[in-house]
Structure formats: C-alpha cells, structure tokens
Amino acid sequence: MKLCVNPACPNPENPDHAHRCQACGSKLLLRDRYQVNQALGQGGFGATFVASDISLPGTPTCVIKQLRPVATSERVLEMSRELFKREAKTLGKIGNHPQVPRLLDYFEIEDDFYLVQEYVNGSTLKQEVKRTGPFTELGVRQFLTEILPVVQYLHDHRVIHRDIKPANIIRRTIDHKLVLIDFGAVKDHVSQTMALNSSEQTALTSFAIGTPGFAPPEQMALRPVYASDIYALGVTSIYLLTGKSPSHLGYDATTGEICWRQNIQVSSKLMGVLERMLEVSVRRRYQSANDVLRALNAEFNSEGFAQGMATMAKSTLLQPEEPTDIEAEGGGRTEMSRLAEAIRARKSKLSSSRLPSSGTRNRSMMTKSPTTAMEGKGASAAKVNSSAKWDANSVKTAYVKGRRDFAGLDLSLLDLAGADLREAILHQAKLVKTNFTNADLSNANLGRASLNQASLRDADLTKAYMSYANLEGADMRGANLTEAYLSHANLRGANLCGANLTGARVSDEQLALAKTNWLTVKPNGKRGLF
C-alpha cells in the first residue's frame, strides 16, 4: 500500500501500482525516490511516516517528517518552519553519533517541508515498560550509564534536547543500544542566548516547550539550560522504576517536587543520585551528564564487588566443594583464591544472619531449592520459574532491564548470537545447542551448565566461571577464554581451535579430550598443539 501525504487528501490509501493518489491526484513518490508506506503519527507541527528509498539498492527504510502545523495563523506557520529548519540543522550537526538518528535528506516541495531520517527499528522505553513491567534498580543504573554519554555529546555540541522521556528513547533491535530520537524541541543554546531579547525567538521557544511533567520548572519558564535535560532523565528513571508518569505520581504543593520516593524501593545510593537529578532548584541539580556519571561511579564502584560476592555466594550455596578447587597452586593467593575466600566469608555471614533468636539454625535456609537460592539482587522481582518458556528476545529484554539471574532455566536451542550477557548467572542452566556466537559472556557464571554442542564461536568468556560445565561437542573456535575457570569441565570433543586460553584454569587431561590446533593459545600464553 502507498500513502498520500497531502494533508487535505480525503483518502490517502492507494494500491501499490498507483503513481498518483486516486483521491486527490497528488504524486505518491516524493522527490522521485521516497515511497511512503505507513503513517506513524502527528505531533504539534509535523506528521511522521515510514517510507522506502527506492533509489538505493535494497530500498532501505527511512522516516519522513512533514511540516504540518495544527494551527493556520501566519505567525504559527512561520514559527513551525523555523522549528523544522532547526531540527534539520541540529540533526545535521549531531547525527554522526551512533545513538542519534542520522539526517539523510531535507527538501521542500511546493511550500511543504520534508525531513528524512535514519529509521530506528525497535521499541521505545515507554512501550517496553508497558509490555514487560518496570525496570529493576540495576536496569535503571544500566540505562543511565548508557544514555548519559549520549546527552553529554549533545551538550558538548551546545544542544539541549528539551524533550527527553521514555517515548523518545528507542532500544534498537539489532544491538539493543538506546537511541535518542525526536529533536523537534531542541534548543541551540548559542543562538538562543544571542537572540535572548528577540520577541520572535521568545515566541519560538514557547512553541517548543517540551513535555509537562518531564520538563523542569526553568524550562517551563522558557529558560532551559543543560541541567534541564538532567531533570528529564531523572523523571524518566522514575517512570522506568514505577511504570507511572509524573501526572499519576502527583506533586508536593509546597515544594513543587514530584512525589516519587514512596513509590520506589531502591538503595540509598541510587536514591541520593535521583534526588539530586530531580532538584527543583537548578543550582542544586547536577550541572552536566558527566557529573551524574561520576556520581554513579563513585556511589556504586565500591559496592559492585560486594554485590558480586553476595550473588556468587548464593549461586554456590549448595556446592560447597567447588570453591576449594580455586586455591592457587603452591599456596599463592590468586584473584580466584581471594574470590573463594570472600565467598566463604559471605556464606558464613549469610548463615549467621539467618539464625533465629532462639539460637537454633533456620533449617528452611538449608533446604532451599537451587532455583530459590540463586535469585540475586539484580534478578526480576518475580521468582525464577524454570518451567517457563523463554525465547531469545525475552532473555535479552530481561537482561537489559537489570535481570542477571537465569540459573536453572532451559534456554536450549535459543539464538543468542552477539548477545550482551556479561556477569549473567547461568548456573545449572540447560544451554544445549544454544547459539552464543560472538556473545559477551565475560565474568558469567556457567558452573554446572549443560552446554553440549553449544556454539561459543568467537564468544568472549573472559574470567567466566565454568566449573563442572558440560561442554562436550561445543564449538569454541576463536573464543576468548582468558582467565576462565574450567576446573572439572567436560571438554570431550569441544573445538578449541584458535581459542585463547591464556591464564585459564584447565588441566592438560581436560585439553587432551578437546580439538586444538597451532592457533590455540595455551594457558601459559604460548601457541601450539597440546
């Protein structure tokens, strides 16, 4: 189906063979190359469509924005044109960033303005929350860590986005990266400052004020600054944690603050970061995206190791014999031996903290199922259901929303090629014939996992914990197994040609059962056959 983009057309839908609209006679091919296929919606001054560029091989998909103001006064039309040109100018200036849509074309046809952008295939964070529920604390921290550098990039180019919200952030399907879209309300900080006394400029600023609730007070008062985007990111984080927009959370009548604290359960560290991002007073708010990143790193770097110990302690609670094999040869204290010591200390602490007041041991802790024992802090609030059916997309979505615990799940035959699963807990998981080609499994816990005939070709398994894992017949060609822990893993028939085993904990007897070649790097760092 072809669509007519004439705003006055009574019936814009046309058959594929049509060259002109059957209802109004308008040409259906814009600039003799863009075929409009689908309407995405209409905003304050423009309509958005999905189109195909038939002039290029493969007819790639693109997004076309058409100037289409709701009002008809000459003043509003002029302001709309200025906004449209400003968006094109901004995209042309910042569109080289991989997480910002590229500007592909900009043209005018009979007083109608068109802007052509790169098409980003994926779901907005608003759609994601509505479909799968709120994010975990870890998911929000991961969101901020990824999106803040993008916002800093805009600010470094003297651009204030002014409309950051979940509906304007897309998680790209191909690589799960966040992409910031809709630059229709952007403000060029330099040109706006230079024209501060211009009534025309003031009217234009007022026309693109942003989204109420997500925009801070100074932006609503027509004085946006870089820190205004920080406030919008804070409100977006609250939405991701609660699934509620600011209007549903309410406001404090005295301070003007959003009433959000009672609606979330996060650590005091993240609470402190969010509080400063959401300061009503712009002077007390973080002044830049880099300031927020530094605060996140300062708050959470020290606790990251402790959380990792807690998770590892839970995942090994029922396997006390495994850590004893991590001790360094000759009595030396390696990183793994220190890890084992920390795990044992954590286990001791967990046991003592669960003793009832009567002094008798809480036997329920000792009889927990492996699945219950391995639910970590970063896991979903719902209990792990090993009988639930998982597909590749649900695993990736759960991971990017903060879940790390997939212990005991049956993920066999899934296509997880290229997936980012760093530090994932896959202890005792069924991963038979699962495709992990080019996946990032660094620091993952794959202890006792069933990886028979799995494809781990070119996968990053740096420092992965794979004790007692069944890797029989697994394709591990070119895999990076640097400092991986493979003690007691079954490597019978595993293909390790070209794999890097530098510093890996694996015995010669294990490797004798695997396939190797002259490109395989031995644990001692040298190449050659075993």
CB 469 within 8 A of CB 322: no
CB 456 within 8 A of CB 434: no
Q: What is the tens place of the pLDDT at every residue in 126-175? A: 999 999 899 999 899 999 999 999 999 999 999 899 999 999 999 998 88
CA proximity to 182, closest of 306, 61, 87, 78: 87
* Position 29 in a domain: yes
Q: What is the tens place of the pLDDT at every residue in 339-391? A: 555 555 555 544 444 444 444 444 333 333 333 333 333 333 334 444 557 99
* Position 301 in a domain: no
Q: What is the tens place of the pLDDT at every residue in 185-207? A: 555 443 333 333 333 333 344 44
* Position 303 in a domain: no
Q: Domain of 526: which CATH number?
A: 2.160.20.80
More confident: 203 or 274: 274
53, 163, 182, 475: which is the annotated catalytic residue? 163
Q: Which residues pair with 103 in a beta bridge?
A: 117
pLDDT at 267: 92
Q: Domain of 85: which CATH number?
A: 3.30.200.20
| 163 in active site | yes
CB 396 within 8 A of CB 417: no
CB 465 within 8 A of CB 481: no
Residue 2 pLDDT more than 50?
yes
CA proximity to 215, closest of 202, 193, 230: 230
Q: Which residues pair with 159 in a beta bridge?
A: 188
**Cα–Cα distance for residue pair 367/343, rounded to 1 Å:** 19
Same domain for 479 and 505, yes or no, is yes
CB under 8 Å to 502, separation ≥6 — which residues? 482, 483, 521, 522, 523, 524, 525
pLDDT at 388: 59
pTM for this model (two decimals):
0.63
* Position 305 in a domain: no
Residue position matching structure tokens 């060259």:
19
* Position 65 in a domain: yes
Same domain for 83 and 231, yes or no, is no
In order of 33, 42, 67, 207, 244, the CA distances from 38 in angstroms are 16, 12, 16, 27, 30
Same domain for 73 and 221, yes or no, is no
Same domain for 38 and 155, yes or no, is no
Q: For the CA atoms of 116, 121, 127, 132, what is the dihedral angle to 10 degrees?
A: -170
Same domain for 324 and 387, yes or no, is no
pLDDT at 401: 85
- Among 183-192, 240-249, 509-518, which is the least confidently predicted range? 183-192
Distance of CA 361 to the CA centre of its chain: 42
* Position 440 in a domain: yes
Residue 53 pLDDT more than 70?
yes
More confident: 370 or 242: 242
**Cα–Cα distance for residue pair 223/123, rounded to 1 Å:** 31
Q: Domain of 239: which CATH number?
A: 1.10.510.10
Q: What is the tens place of the pLDDT at every residue in 283-327? A: 999 999 999 999 998 866 555 444 444 444 444 444 434 443 433
Same domain for 24 and 12, yes or no, is yes
Domain total in the chain? 4
CB 404 within 8 A of CB 140: no
Same domain for 113 and 240, yes or no, is no
Distance of CA 417 to the CA centre of its chain: 17
Provide the residue range defining the domain that includes 100: 2-118
